């Protein structure tokens, strides 16, 4: 039992500060306000120790209803999660800093 609790505590510590699924979806909506997106299985981890960026894996439902695995990068800025890079439903192109 102690091993299980230790593993859970370690996983929780590694995720500390990561965006929740709701925060992730809010960042995606801000990056792509004209297209409502459905996501599931959102999981974010810090890009590197001490980094302010988080790598997120998630599934995005396409217009055809199929789910596809995707990745994105989010960062906390001025109290909000900001979509840095990753596919959205706005277009077939990645939304990024360009």
Q: Indicate whether 81 belongs to any domain.
A: yes
Contact 84, 97 (CB under 8 A): yes
The answer to whether position 56 is within a domain reads yes
Examine residue 6 and state whether it is found in any structural domain, yes or no.
no
Range of the structural domain that residue 52 is part of: 18-89
pTM score: 0.74
Q: pLDDT-based confidence at 5, cuts 50/70/90? A: very low
pLDDT of 92: 53
Q: Is residue 51 part of a domain?
A: yes
How many domains are there within the chain?
1
Identify whether 47 is part of a domain: yes
Domain for residue 98, yes or no?
no
Is the alpha carbon torsion for 52, 55, 61, 12 positive or negative? negative
Residue 50 counted as domain residue: yes
What 3-state DSSP class applies to 89? Answer: coil
Q: Give the residue from 17, 36, 16 showing the smallest Cα distance to 26.
A: 36
User: pLDDT (tens digit, 9 = 90+) per residue, 20-79?
Assistant: 999 999 999 999 998 888 999 999 999 999 899 999 999 999 889 999 999 999 999 999
CATH number, position 55: 3.10.450
């Amino acid at each position: 039992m102690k091993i299980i609790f230790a593993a859970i505590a370690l996983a929780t510590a590694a995720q500390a500060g990561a965006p929740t699924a709701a925060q992730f979806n809010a960042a995606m909506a801000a990056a792509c306000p004209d297209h409502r997106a459905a996501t599931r299985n959102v999981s974010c981890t810090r890009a590197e120790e001490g980094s302010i960026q988080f790598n997120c894996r998630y599934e995005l439902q396409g217009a055809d209803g199929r789910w596809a695995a995707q990745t994105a990068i989010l960062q906390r800025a001025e109290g909000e999660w900001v979509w840095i890079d990753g596919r959205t439903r706005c277009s077939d192109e990645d939304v990024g800093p360009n």
